[in-house]
Amino acid sequence: MANIITLTLNPCIDKFFTVDALIAEQKLRARDVEDYPGGGGLNVSRAISHLGGKSTALWILGGPVGHRLEQLLARENLDQHTVAVSGQTRENIIVYEKSSDQYYRFSLPGPSISDSELVAWTEALNAVVSPGDYVVISGSLPPGAPPGWFADLIQSISAEHRVIVDTKAEALHAALETGVFLAKPNIVELAEYVGQRLEGDEEVECAGRRIIENGGAVALMISMGRGGALLIQRDRAEHIRAPLVPIHSKVGAGDSMVAGMVLALSRGLSIPQAARFGVAAGSAAVMTEGTQLCTREDTERLYERMNAR
- d(CA 269, CA 260) in angstroms, rounded, equals 11
What value does the mean pLDDT of the chain take? 90
Q: What pLDDT, on a 0 to 100 scale, did the predictor assign at position 175?
A: 93
Domain holding 268: CATH number?
3.40.1190.20
Exposure string over 283-297, b if 16+ CB within 10 A, otherwise e = bbbbbbebbbbbbee
Whether residue 269 has pLDDT greater than 80: yes
Q: What pLDDT, on a 0 to 100 scale, did the predictor assign at position 158?
A: 66
Q: What pLDDT, on a 0 to 100 scale, did the predictor assign at position 307?
A: 85
pTM score, whole prediction: 0.92
The rounded percent of the chain whose pLDDT value lies above 70 is: 99
Active site residues: 255
251 pLDDT tier (thresholds 50, 70, 90): confident
- The pLDDT tens digits for 2-14 are 899 999 999 999 9
- d(CA 37, CA 8) in angstroms, rounded, equals 11
CB-CB contact of 291 with 267 (8 Å) = no
Q: What is the mean pLDDT of residues 61-69?
A: 95
- The pLDDT tens digits for 210-232 are 999 999 999 999 988 777 899 99
The more confidently predicted of residues 58 and 128 is 58
Q: What is the 3-state secondary structure (H, E, C) of 178-232?
A: HCEEEECCEHHHHHHHHCCCCCHHHHHHHHHHHHHHCCCEEEEEEECHHHCEEEE
Distances in whole angstroms, Cα of residue 215 to Cα of each of 17, 18, 125, 234: 44, 46, 24, 10
**Residue 183 backbone dihedrals phi, psi, to 5 degrees:** -125, 150
Our count of domains for the chain comes to 1
Whether residue 159 has pLDDT greater than 70: no
Q: What is the mean pLDDT of residues 74-80?
A: 94
Domain span holding position 273: 4-308
